[in-house]
Each structure stands twice: as structure tokens, then as C-alpha cells.
A and B are shown apart, each in its own frame.
Chain A
Amino acid sequence: MTLQVENVTKKFGDFTAVDNLSLSIEQGGMHGFLGANGAGKTTTFRMILGLLDPTQGSVRWKGNPITYASSPEIGYLPEERGLYPKMKVEEQLVYLAQLRKMSKGDAKREAAAWLERFEVPHYGQKKVEELSKGNQQKIQLIASLLHKPSLLILDEPFSGLDPVNVEMLKKAILDFQKQGATIVFSSHRMDHVEELCDDMSILDRGKIVVGGSIKKVKRSFGKQNVRLNMDADLSHLCKIAGVDNFTKTKDGALFQITDEQVAQVLLTEAMKLGTLRHFAVEEPSLEEIFIAKVGK
């Protein structure tokens, strides 16, 4: 385990922002943090980075607490994006990388390569304030990983981007992971987490309500979906034992079941009603899990 967060609690006065949170991430892993606004994601990140000290508990990176000595190994994309508005992009990237102890020459070379990759090589000599918000975000991401950190923390990396740019950034982050970096990122887009991560945690009011590998989380949710597409009226099928929930869809109906056996019962019952066009047993989406666990 390379990053270990052990029983961390952070209190601001009477308010508990993070409550007894534990987490461990493997070297080279990608961990997704899901949570509503104010769930404690940013506070957790700030504690991992050492910007805030936990009221209780400890954070360890390769067995030691994170200090400024480990600054060259860490990259951070804050939720509140910030760059010097009046400084030129290249100058800014080099300055921020130098603060993380990268040499000036290396920083220049890397910056040029990244700008090229994000299809904005001509922005190097532009001031940040002249760029669009999406392009500023690309620069911000470059700033967080230019110095080749081995731990990268991204707070909402995809918010406010168009789909094309989201894909571009996703690919960059995945490539960066392949080079061996450990990545933690937060989002409130479930599909991004589902697509990128192996492990995830859902945070609610400072506590992890669900955590672990996505597969396990889905399995242990104990519910599956059965999709039936046919023209007949299926509403009476919800009376079958083991059916939790029934939703009418455009093409038929969606049943939520707790036992895999119930799917077979549903199939046989449905076939008695007419021609079945489509039958599928689906895993629950993270969205459903999130809503079930957080959105009570």
C-alpha cells in the first residue's frame, strides 16, 4: 500500500468535516472519490497533501507522513482552479515545476511536449487570462503533472469541459497512470469514475459509506436490474416475490431484484405474455448505488 489514510478525523470547531476516514491505495492505482458537495472530499485531499493537519489519525505516503520534502513527488490539481492571470503560460508552468524542484530546462521541454499533446502549442507565449476556461483547465492539468509526480491528486479534473476535451484529458490521465503514478481523483460524475477507476469511495458527510473495488461494490450492493423489452403490459409482474422496484420504460420495463433466481422467474412469466424482444440482467450503475446510499 503506497498511500494510507488511517482513521482520519478533521473538525472545524464543532463541525466534523471528515469523520474517522480510512483508505489505502496501491502503487499505480487509480482511486475515485465520489461525494455530494460538502461531503469532505477537498478537506481529505488537503489533509493528504499536508495543507491541513488531521484532528485525529494519520496519513502516510510510502510509510512516512507527507511533508514539503516530498513535494517533488506530488502533483495537485485544486478544485478552485488558479493560475497567475497575467503571466505567460510557459513561464508559469516552468515556475510551478521549478517550485517542485524540476530543473528549468526539463520543465521547458516537458511543457512544450504537453502543450503539443493538448493541441495548444501556440499558447505558450499567451497570458492565461487570454485563454478560454477549458483551455485554462488544460494548462492547470499540465501544471499538476509536469514535474512527473508519483502521486497525483486531482480535485474535479473534468468539471466544466466539453466532451472532446474530457476525452483528451481522460486519456492523458490514463497514460500517466500507465507510467506508474498513483492517482486519486474526485468527481461527481459517476460515469467518469466507473470508466477510469478500479477502486472508489463514496463519501457522505465525512464518512465513507461505500468503498473498495468497483466490481465488489456492485456485487455487494445485492441488487441487479432486469430489463424486459416487449409490448405487453408488465405491471402485474412487480408482485412477484423478490422484485424490489419496477419502472416502466419506453420499450418495456426495468425491474430491480435482490436475488438472481428471480430473473429466471421473471423471464418465464414474461414469455407467457407475448413476444419478448430483449431480456438482460444488468449490474447496478454507480449512480443507483450513490443515490441509494447518499440520496435518502
Chain B
Amino acid sequence: MHSFWIIFKQAFITKARTKSFLITTGVVVAAFFLLANISNIIAIFDGDENEENTLHVVSETPVLLENLQAQLALMNSEIEAVPTPLTEAELQESITEGTIDDYLVLMLDGQLTARYVSESANEMGGGAEIENAVQAIHTAMTAESLGLDDNQVGQLFMPVEFERQAVSESSKSQEELSQARGLVYVLIMLIYVAVIYYPNMIAMEVATEKSSRVMEILISSVSPVKHMFAKIAGIGSLGILQMGIFGMAGYFAIQSAGTDLTEGVFSVMGFSEVKISTFLFAILFFLLGYFLYAVLAALLGSLVSRTEDVQQLMLPMMILIIIGSLIAFSGISVPEASYVTISSYIPFFAPLVMFLRVGMLDLPIWEPLLSIGIMLLTIGILGWFGARVYRGGVLMYGSSQSLKDIRKAIHLGNKK
């Protein structure tokens, strides 16, 4: 075990000290803080916030303005309606100059009519709140003229009760689904990046040791199998550390932004009702996915003699990961589709797809367990097979850049 830890430490520390690792970690952490605080940052550069919420109202009937102000207050709107001494022509000029954003013309000509003017059609959306307010005034005025009392008006506008219910047992309620979706999406993204990034690191590492020819010294000191697994464990730990840093950074970034996790942007992500099991499954599937692909990457890395050839040999593996991610990302909206179910048991896709299903659906526990079992079995077989290839592969030099070399490597490393 002694030499295992030495290789483990070596793989961990040398990688952790590299500039690329430190820079990547730093940049991602900085990006987290930047993203979380983006609204605060925009606010700093956007001083004249007040002007944005001021609505200039042109009206010959002062009572309309009062009604509008009352209605906006009732709606908790941030828009402040103010009377303006300017004429319409002057207001339009102001909009063109950019000193004001919009104005509203209210007229009472037997019936209430309103005209909302803003710079471009894009901003018409901003008028929705104002339209609602004007509509409410109109309704109140009409009700009054019809002689309806408040109770009758209330009955008239009572919203219908409309509930959605799913028959499938595994299905989460619509509300739960949309809450889970954001979180699952983010975590799948992380697993996807991790199973590409760290196994690639391993393949490069192995190829570098081979191309610098230090490999022959290493494997004459310790067995290639021990060397391979110590390396995988070392870089895996580095991955957990880095992901841990990202997780902490994300948490503190959101804290520093001073927003509650359940508000604003984050409410969409579903952080309000985080299930701890989702995180545990994410860590588990990250580890399984990492080991699965790391063994494969070490095997492929051991076949090349030059680091330049690594990417070429890694391509089939990358394609597997990309297919898995496509299924997972498309499955977010249809987690119960049969193609998602089937591929969640295929070991190469399972880390992403089974995690998606676990996160989005209420699965009976045997389903993820079965998938995990299949993955463990595959890791075992790949580990055994990879170790055989690795034994011979590391001794093999020459223009080896195709998968056919696997046979050659097994032959070379063969006992007897």
C-alpha cells in the first residue's frame, strides 16, 4: 500500500500545483460570484433607476390619475404615476432624447380609453402592468355605472379552480417537477463536465509518462495495475476537491449576493426545496461515472506513444459521453420516455441518465440500485481488462494510434 499512497500523493499534488488547475479553479469561482451578484453589479452602473419606474400621465380628468395611482399601489407595483405639464409632442421628443422611457394618455370620452407610448415595441411588454391597472379602473367604473356592489363584482371575476393531477406513481407533481428541473440540470451539467475533464487529465498524464519514457522506470518499481489505480484515485480526489470548492463557492456566492435562495432567478432553479438525496445521488453518480471513464481513459492513454495522439484515441469515449449527455438533457422535459428509461441502465450513459431519472422522478429504490450495480460490474470488468491492456500498452512504442493496438497490448502484457 505504501507505494500506492506515494503515487496517489504525487498525482494529486503535482496536478493541484499546476497553473492550469489553479487558474481554472480561480476563474470558475470568480464566475460564480460574478453571476450571483450580476443584478447588484448592474445596479451600480445603472444609477437613474427612479426614472425607469416613473410613468408620465397625460390626462384632462385628474380623478383618473388618482384612480390609477391607487390601483398601482394596490397591485404593489413599483411604477409611480405622475402628472406631467408637458404636451404629447414634447413628451415624444423626450423619449427620443432618452430622458424619459414612456408615457400614458388617459381619456374619458363616455368610455375609458388609454394609449401607452414608449420608445420601441420591445418595451411594450412593460405596459402589461399598466394595462392591468387601467383594466381594473375600467371594470370598477363599469360596475359602478351598472349598479353592481363589490360582492357581485367579486363573484363575476372569481377564478376557476384548475388542478393538474398525474396518474403515474413515479411522477412528481407538476410543481415538484419544475422545482427539481433546475437543480438536476445544473448537477447533470457538473457531472458531464467532470466525466470529460478528469478522465482526460488521466489519459494525458499516462501518455505524458509514456512519451517522456519515465514509465519504464515506474513500472519496474511498482506494478502497472497499482500505478494505474493509484493515479485514478489521486486525480479523482483532486476532482472531488475541485467540485467541493465549486460547490462552496456557489453557496457563498449566492449568500454574498444577499438574495434568499427562494427568490428571483434562483426560484426557477428549484433551490427552495432541495432534497438532500438529490445531492447524494449526484456525488455517487459523479464518482461512478468518473471511475468508469477514468479506467477507460487510462487504458486508451496507455496505447499512445505521443501525447499528440491522445485526443484521436479518446474520440470514441468522448462520443459515448456526448450521447449520454444528449439523452440526459433532452430527457429533462420527458423523464419518463422509454428511451431515457432504457439508457439509464446502459453503464456508459447511466451516470448522467439515471441521475436525471432519480432527480426528476420518484423511482422505487431498486431502479437506481440496479443501475449502480451494472455500473460497478462494468467498472470491475473494465478495470480488469484495462489493467491487462495497460500492462502491455505502457511497454509498447511506435505509431500506435488505433484501437486495434488493444490486442497487441494484451498480447505483450500477457502472462505466458
Contacts and interface: CB of A to CB of B under 8 A. Distances in A.
Interface of A: 12-13, 46, 49, 51-53, 55, 68, 71, 74, 76, 78, 80-85, 87, 95-96, 98-101, 143-144
Contacts of A53: 414-416
B297 interface: no
Nearest to A54: B416
Nearest to B5: A98
Contacts of A71: 220-222
Among the interface residues B209, B218, B411, which one has the most CB atoms of the partner chain A within 10 A?
Answer: B218
A99 B222 contact: yes
Given A51-B220, A68-B222, A99-B222, A82 B7 contact: no
8 contacts: A53-B414, A74-B220, A76-B220, A82-B216, A85-B212, A87-B14, A96-B217, A99-B222
A100 B221 contact: yes
* Highest count of chain A CB atoms <10 Å: which of B10, B212, B215, B412: B212
B217 A82 contact: yes
Contacts of B7: 99
A81 B6 contact: no
Contacts of B275: none
Nearest to A49: B220
Given A51-B219, A52-B395, A53-B414, A95 B10 contact: yes
A162 B2 CA distance: 39
A74 B219 CA distance: 12
Contacts of B221: 68, 71, 96, 99-100
B255 interface: no
B276 interface: no
A84 B212 contact: yes
3 closest A-B pairs by CB: A82-B213, A82-B214, A99-B221
Interface in B359-416: 395, 397, 411-412, 414-416
Contacts of A98: 3, 6
Contact of A99 (B3, B411, B415, B416): B3
B207 to A, nearest CB: 13
Contact of A51 (B3, B6, B395): B395
B223 interface: yes
Contacts of A13: 411
B212 A83 contact: yes
A80 B226 CA distance: 23
A151 to B, nearest CB: 12
A55 B223 CA distance: 20
A89 B397 CA distance: 25
Nearest to A94: B6
Given A53-B415, A53-B416, A98-B6, A78 B219 contact: no
A74 B215 CA distance: 16
A82 B220 contact: no
A99 B6 contact: yes
Nearest to A46: B395
Contacts of A68: 221-223, 226
B399 to A, nearest CB: 16
Given A51-B395, A52-B395, A80 B222 contact: no
A82 B395 contact: no
B216 A78 contact: yes
B388 to A, nearest CB: 13
Contacts of A49: 220
Contacts of B217: 76, 78, 82, 96, 143-144
A12 B216 CA distance: 19
Contact of B214 (A55, A83, A100, A144): A83
Contacts of A51: 216, 219-220, 395
Nearest to A83: B214
B6 A95 contact: yes
Nearest to A144: B217
B330 to A, nearest CB: 42
Nearest to A153: B220
Given A51-B219, A71-B222, A74-B220, A82 B3 contact: no
Contacts of B6: 95, 98-99
A100 B412 CA distance: 24
A55 B226 CA distance: 24
A88 B226 CA distance: 24
Contacts of A12: 411-412
B214 to A, nearest CB: 4
Contacts of A81: 213
Nearest to A101: B2
Interface string B219-234: 1111100100000000
A97 B160 CA distance: 79
* Most A Cβ at <10 Å: residue of B7, B213, B220, B415: B220
Contacts of A101: 2-3
B404 to A, nearest CB: 14
Given A46-B395, A85-B212, A99 B218 contact: yes
Nearest to B394: A51
A84 B220 contact: no
Interface in B90-134: none
Given A99-B222, A101-B3, A80 B395 contact: no
Nearest to B213: A82
A53 B223 CA distance: 14
B38 to A, nearest CB: 38
